[in-house]
Every structure is written in C-alpha cells, then in structure tokens.
Amino acid sequence: MGLAQVCKSPINYTGNKYRMLPQFIKYFPEDTNKCVDLFTGGATVAINLISEEIIAIDNNPKVINLLKFLKKQEYKILIDKIDELIEKYGLSNSYKYGYSYYKKYVEGNNGLKKYNEEGYSKLKKDYNKLENKKTDEANLYLYVLMVYAFNNDIRFNSKGEFNIPVGKTDMNKNNREKLKKYIDMCNEKKIEFICKDFKEIDIKDLKDVDFLYADPPYLITDAVYNENAGWTEREETELLNMLDKLNNEGIKFALSNVLQKKKLNKKNEILYNWLETNKDKYFINEIEYHYRSASYNKKNRDGLEEEVLITNYKVGE
C-alpha cells in the first residue's frame, strides 16, 4: 500500500495520525482490495489509504455523521452555506477580507478569539438547542463550530452538548483547502463510514478484509477520551483478543499504541504481556514521533512515550 499524497482530514480529532503517516505507510501492506480503519476518529488514516474499498469505523455517532455529511457535499455549494452561516453569526472571514481587516481586534497571541467570542457563543448555543443532531443543518453548524473552536477540536459533555471554547482561527484558506481535498478524495475512493463499537464487530464480517488498522485510545495516556473510564483494561484485553482472532484468520493488521511513558514510569503491562506471549507472531516497529505539541497532553508533554506500530507480518513480506 502506498500514498500518492497525504490529505489532511477537515476534522481535527484527538490523536489524529497525520504527522505519522509517512512513517506508518512503509509498514502497511501493498495490493489491498479491502481495508478497515477500526478507530477512525477524523478519518486521517482512512482517507489516505489506497485500496479498492475502505471501511472507516468509529463509535462516536456525531463524528461519523459529520464525516458522512461532508463526504456527500458539493464543495462550492457547501462553502456558500458555510459563508452564509459565518455572516449570520458575525464571525470573522479572513479568507474573504484578509487577516489585517481584523487586526484591531487582535490582542497578544489570541488571534481572532476576541472578535469571534460573541458570535461563536451564540452559534454554540443554537447548535446545542437543536433536538436532532443528525440533520444536514446540525452537521453544518457542527462543522463551523469546530473550525472556530479552540484547537479546531470536537468535544461534547455528558449531556451531549458541544463544549469547546472559542479559538484563534477561522474558515481561512487552509481550512477551505482541507475541506475541498477531503470531498475530492471521498469522491475518488470507495469509502464507507460506519458508527459501531469495535466490540460489536463479528470476525466473520471481516473475512474478506485484507488489512485492518487499529488506533484505539491509549490505556496509559491522559487524553480526553480516557476520562471517565472511556478506555479500560477490559477494552484493551478485548481488542487484543480480537486481533488474535484476525491473525488466526490470516488477516493482516497494524496496531498503534504506547508501550510506556518513561518519565512517568507508566507501562502498558497488558500490551507487554500480550507481545511477550506472541513474540513469534507479532512485530514491534518503533515510531519516532511524540505528542509534545498536542493540546490534550499538556500535563505530561515532556514525558517520553514509546509509541509503536505493532504488526502481525514483517515489513516486505
């Protein structure tokens, strides 16, 4: 498998693997007909896979619905709707007017935050009041919220409300280009988005899959998705059992994970023991990138992480 080019997802989802793709790709198998991205998140890996068929799975219905919504849009029509929403809520549009137009509103390194605070708050309130979050209107609101949110992030509280504060940027040239490229690539490829928990997947349904990539929540990190016991030792064990079954079926897989956080003296014992038990089956490929600049890991961004890509095949075979 190879990448003709790397496309950024228009959704900046926690833990996305955009910067790691050049390293990952050398470990991915070639000549695949059907691939599965099991914890797709913002679909960064999925949309960059080269395969006859790509299945992107995640258990977050709002993210999957947003990915589906953006996929089916015509870019020119969508961008007009986005600009109309921007104007309606009085948000900045540096693409149209230029960044210098808003210069008097900029304080320190806060970018366009001050200018957009009021309109963003109103947009967020109106989105959260919508009863049906699956409609095209709701997804349009959610996309614009994400673009103007802090770190262009997506997060919901226990009530299902979008709860990210306003950020520094807007629907600039970069965000427009990412959106267009995503729509173009979705039209070029056969890609399907499915909302499902990995525990609901029957191995029998994966028998025609050539390759499965899994990037689950990392058990020993402090990311947002690990709050409130979102990923526990139980899920970790169930996933590893699932990968064992895939291996028995002769299906190639690659698993992203963190073996240890050295400075914090944290070690994923479950993963270590699984690898030790299967040391003749599975192979550890080290990845030379750490999330030191990631917003969700500010507390321990200096804690060295041993990030790896585990495969059930040797590279080149």
Supply the mean pLDDT for the chain. 88
Query: For the segment 263-277, what is each residue's pLDDT rounded down to a tens digit?
Result: 777 889 999 999 999
Is residue 5 included in any domain, yes or no? no
Residues 156 and 210 in one domain: no
> Do 204 and 267 share a domain, yes or no?
yes
Range of the domain at 161: 73-172
Any idea which residue has 């979008």 for tokens?
162
Query: For 63-89, what is each residue's pLDDT tens digit?
Result: 999 999 999 999 999 999 999 999 999
- Do 86 and 167 lie in one domain? The reply is yes
Is residue 183 in some structural domain? no
Q: How confident is the model at residue 30 (pLDDT cuts 50, 70, 90)?
A: confident
CATH of the domain at 144: 1.10.1020.10
Burial of residue 191, with CB atoms counted within 10 A of its CB: 0-12 exposed, 13-18 middle, 19 or more buried: buried
Query: What's the pLDDT at 292?
Result: 40
| Short-list 212, 250, 144, CA closest to 1 | 212
Examine the domain organization and report whether 258 and 294 are in the same domain.
Answer: yes
Tokens of 301: 């961004």
165 or 21, which is more confident? Answer: 165
Torsional class of 194: left (φ above 0), alpha (ψ -120 to 50), beta (otherwise): beta
Q: Give me the mean pLDDT over the 25-42 stretch.
A: 91
Whether residues 122 and 146 share a domain: the answer is: yes
pLDDT digits (tens, 9 = 90+) for 254-312: 999 988 877 777 889 999 999 999 999 999 988 875 444 343 333 344 445 678 999 99
For residue 42, being part of any structural domain is answered with yes
Name residue 156's beta-bridge partners. 162
CATH number of the structural domain spanning residue 291: 3.40.50.150
Domain count within the chain: 2
Share of the chain above pLDDT 70, in %: 89
What pLDDT is stored for residue 297 in this prediction?
Answer: 38
The reply to whether 237 and 278 lie within a common domain is yes
Q: Which of 119, 139, 172 is the last residue of a domain?
A: 172
Residue 306 lies in a domain: yes
Q: Are residues 86 and 159 in the same domain?
A: yes
Residue 131: pLDDT over 80:
yes
What mean pLDDT do residues 120-141 have?
97
pLDDT confidence band for 7 (50 / 70 / 90):
confident
Q: What is the pTM of this model?
A: 0.88
Higher pLDDT, 164 or 108: 164
Same domain, 237 and 295: yes
Can you read off the two tokens belonging to residue 43?
A: 């679909």
pLDDT at 299: 39
